[in-house]
Every structure is written in C-alpha cells, then in structure tokens.
Amino acid sequence: MNSTTFAAAPPTSATRAWQTPIDLALLGAIWGASFLFMRVAADDFGAAALVELRLGLGALVLLPFLWRARAAFPARLWPRLAMIGAINSAVPFLLFAWAAQHAPAGVGAISNAMTVLFTALIGFLFFGEKIGSRRSVALLAGFVGVVVLASGKTA
C-alpha cells in the first residue's frame, strides 16, 4: 500500500477573491452571535459558569487539533499556555459575561467594537506594526461605526 499523502490543491486567487468576504461575514456572524447568546444566557447561568461552558465547548472543538500536534506542546509549556489562555480568553470572556449582566447592551457592543481598534493601536505603538492605506480605511470605518453606536441615534 502506498503511504504517500496527497495535499489538496491550493485555492486559486479567483476562488479566494469571493471566498474571503464570505469567510469574514461568517466569522463575524459567529463572533457576534456569541455575544448575543452571552447577553441572553448570562442571567440564567451566571458569568463564571457561562464562561466555563463557553471555554469548555471551545476546548472540545480544539482538542483533536491539539492531539494531532501534541509533540509540539511538551508538558513544560503547559503552564505558560495556561497563562496565555487565561489572559487572552478566560479573563476577557468573564469580564464580557459580567458586563452582559450589569451594563446596557450598547456598552458591550461598543467595548467589543473597540477591541480591534485598540489592538491595532497597540500593535502600531508597541510592536511597530505598519498601518497602510487599506488598514487605515478599515480602522476609520470601524471608528465611525463605534461613533454611530455610541451616539445613540436611531434611523
């Protein structure tokens, strides 16, 4: 039996041209829905239990990928990875769930929208990330969206 594995052909640029906006829209819908569900479920579950459930479900999805790449994650790295997971996922999710219980929905939406803007600012200020014209337009559009959300005016 031949043990040669065949890699899938890389997508053509024409495929990527229409697929990228669809992928981004799908990712945005999933990301936005998670905050909607958090807003609805925070009162019933409580902030900590909701975050445990959310992170547990995420871990179940990612576990097969971790198992496949387990050689790249020796036991000595686990404490460092746990700290990164706490800082990047557990604490922010806990704070968002707590805010969903105690703050108006608009404050959560504005805070969520500002995440990308502040990430770009931190990348620029501390890590020398270049912000070209396309990123500038995207950040400006995000900032305008936050202003619209914060203004409280409805159409």
Handedness of CA 8, 14, 20, 22 (dihedral sign): negative
Q: What is the pLDDT of residues 13-72, one digit of tens each?
A: 666 677 788 888 888 888 778 878 888 888 888 999 999 998 999 899 999 999 999 889
At 38 the pLDDT is: 83
Burial of 14-47, coded b for 16+ CB within 10 Å and e otherwise, reads eeeeeeeeeeeeeeeeeeeeebeebbebbeebeb
Distances (CA, A) of 131 to 85, 86, 95, 135, 140: 27, 29, 29, 6, 12
| Lowest mean pLDDT segment, chosen from 18-27, 74-83, 118-127 | 18-27
What's this model's pTM, rounded to 2 decimal places? 0.64
Confidence band of 5 (pLDDT split at 50, 70, 90) = low
pLDDT higher than 80, residue 109 = no
Mean of all residue pLDDT scores within the chain: 83
What are the structural domain ranges in the chain? Answer: 37-102, 103-155
- Interhelix angle 13-45/47-68, nearest 10 degrees: 140
Two structure tokens written together for 18: 């229409």
pLDDT band at 12 (very low <50, low <70, confident <90, very high): low
Q: Give the model's confidence band at 107: pLDDT under 50 very low, under 70 low, under 90 confident, else very high.
A: confident
